[in-house]
Amino acid sequence: MACTTILVGKKASNDQSTMIARTDDGHFDVKKLVVVSPRQQPRKYKSVISHVEIELPDNPMRYTACPSVDPKNGIWAATGINEANVGMTATETITSNPRVLAADPLVCYRKAKSRREKDVPGGIGEEDIVVLVLPYIHSAREGVLRLASLLEQYGTYESNGIAFNDENEVWWMETIGGHHWMARRVPEDRVVIHPNQFGMDAFDLEDAFGAQEAHLCSADLREFIRDHHLDLNQGGAFNPRDIFGSRTDMDHIYNTPRAWMMGRYLAPDSYRWDGPNADFGPESDRIPWSFVPDRKVTAEDIKYVLSAHYQGTPYNPYSGQDTGKRGIYRSIGINRTGVTSICQIRNGVPRELQGVEWICFGSTTFSAMLPVYPRVDSMPAYLSQVTLEATSENFYWASRLIGALADPHFAACAQLLERYQAAVVTRGRQILQEYDERMTKSGDFSLTAEANRKLCDMAKEETTSALTKILAEASVQMKNGFHLADN
């Protein structure tokens, strides 16, 4: 599934929080935000796509999830924060190459061809991973290790990147072929930008096979690389992207331009992004996987970057100028996104309040980002009771309606969208601040449910207002309008 990921170490953020964020760019998947209690968590899991069956531990924790409303293809939980204040987002579809996939083939479901044969289950994939991992981990590192054990036992049928965070650490994990993997702790002062490619461009094998302070990998990774002649690096360097990733024409249209746009916003002064002497252009293969941002990163920055459509460049599909390059690259904010989340784990607040989950449904370019507390028994209906039929009564469909109406009339609606998005995040922060202070002072952390209701009431008010205004503007802009000068 095509997605875009940003990871933020705690010294790179404005408030010493860690943040992991991803757009879930499916096929217009209808999504909701729910809380999964321990009694709702299965003890035996079966995948719809791969048919693999997995026994699960008896001690799951409560966690949030953004599953598909239509269960026909499985759960696809996408993202969440558990009651141990560990966040997870899965998965970023990544690229590989024929050498890797031949050496360690993907584990795909094989349906029996005759009555004498049996179906052969496949491995695990995006449909499954959050459900199999998030309820059982107490740190970001633990998330890597649990998922690694599952990959080694069952394999995977697709190439994926997975993020984990807790109050101190952010870890990024990438699968390699069917059973291999590597993971790296994001340096505290750095951000990571990741657009559907194998991303890591540096890795310390000595640490991975030694102290394991910031690097983890399959136990046989060195032998795997050596025996299958995978190392393409020169001069003793070790760049995993060159070994395990891709470098194709499609990357230069679909993937690298997104990394360029994100880097251009987050580090505009550290690198040259434009002009004939640019360090990196939209089709560069060497855009850094991680870097120190030029200023501290906020949740609003993440939302902006994940909404980007090359504004301020010749590639903006909404530009009024015919640059000859409009729309040639895949935007970050794309029409088919189901849900975008930021899993934020904060420092400096009571443990019960550390997690904040920022949720945005539909195309990020047009939608608002709403914060909620994840440590609750259930989410308000505005987020959790989403139907397969369109309605303005929930956040998902109201967001979709706003995007569909505003897109053909972007210039006319741009100011309305900006005011709407700013209002939701401003009022959302005000409510968070109010309840953070109240609960810290009183010690009554059950008020998180009340806060979430207040946040959703606010979001519904602002979203309905924005929808009304944008509908009016779109109606004025309809092509069958006609003015008769008969006065």
Nearest CA to 248 among 201, 196, 299, 211?
196
* Mean pLDDT across 440-445: 98
C-alpha separations of 469 from 279, 307, 362, 472 in Å: 43, 21, 18, 5
Residues 173 and 264 in one domain: yes
- Asked whether residue 372 is domain-assigned, the answer is no
pLDDT tens digits, 72-97:
999 999 999 999 999 999 999 999 99
Say if residue 486's pLDDT is above 60: no
Rounded to an integer, the average pLDDT of 451-463 is 98
Q: Is 66 a catalytic residue?
A: no
CA-wise closest residue to 163 among 11, 12, 32, 5: 5
What is the model's pLDDT at position 487?
Answer: 53
Residues 159 and 100 in one domain: yes
Give residue 392's pLDDT: 97
Answer with the one of 365, 392, 427 that is the final residue of a domain.
365
Looking at the domain assignment, is residue 377 inside a domain? no
pLDDT band at 182 (very low <50, low <70, confident <90, very high): very high
378 within domain boundaries: no
* Secondary structure class of 303 (helix, strand, coil): helix
The answer to whether the predicted template modeling score (pTM) of the entire model surpasses 0.85 is yes
pLDDT one-digit tens code per residue, 376-392: 999 999 999 999 999 99
Task: pLDDT band for 1, please (50, 70, 90 cuts).
Answer: low
Cα 273 to its chain centre, rounded Å, is: 24
- Both 315 and 422 in one domain: the answer is no
Do 321 and 412 fall into the same domain?
A: no
In this structure, the answer to whether residues 282 and 410 fall within a common structural domain is no
Catalytic residue among 3, 217, 343, 456: 3
Q: Give pLDDT, residue 68.
A: 98
Q: Are residues 359 and 392 in the same domain?
A: no
Q: Per-residue pLDDT averaged across 393-400, rounded?
A: 98
On whether the CB atoms of residues 197 and 246 are closer than 8 A, the answer is yes
DSSP-assigned beta bridge partners for residue 77: none
Domain-located, residue 379? no
- Indicate if 360 and 389 belong to the same structural domain: no
- CA–CA dist 264, 287 (Å, integer): 10
* CATH code at position 229: 3.60.60.10
Task: Tell which of 365, 399, 417 closes a domain.
Answer: 365
Q: Which residues contact 277 (CB under 8 A, 6 or more apart)?
A: none
Residue 417's pLDDT band, with cuts at 50, 70 and 90, is very high
Task: Give the residue from 319, 338, 365 where a domain finishes.
Answer: 365
Q: Is residue 151 part of a domain?
A: yes
Q: Distance (Å, rounded) from C-alpha 119 to C-alpha 128?
A: 19
Average pLDDT of every residue of the chain: 97
Statement: residue 483 has pLDDT above 90: no
**Same domain? 352 vs 388:** no
H-run or E-run covering 354: none
Verify that 169 and 232 share a domain, yes or no: yes
Q: Is residue 325 part of a domain?
A: yes
User: Both 319 and 447 in a single domain?
Assistant: no
Total number of domains constituting the chain: 2
Q: What is the pLDDT of residue 330?
A: 97
User: Average of pLDDT values for 49-55?
Assistant: 98
* Residue 307 shares a structural domain with residue 400: no
Q: Is 153 part of a structural domain of the chain?
A: yes
Say if residues 267 and 287 touch (Cβ distance below 8 Å): no
Q: What is the pLDDT of residue 291?
A: 98
Residue 440 lies in a domain: yes
Q: Are residues 324 and 406 in the same domain?
A: no
Q: Which of 109, 15, 28, 107 is nearest to 404 (CA)?
A: 28
Range of the domain at 96: 2-365
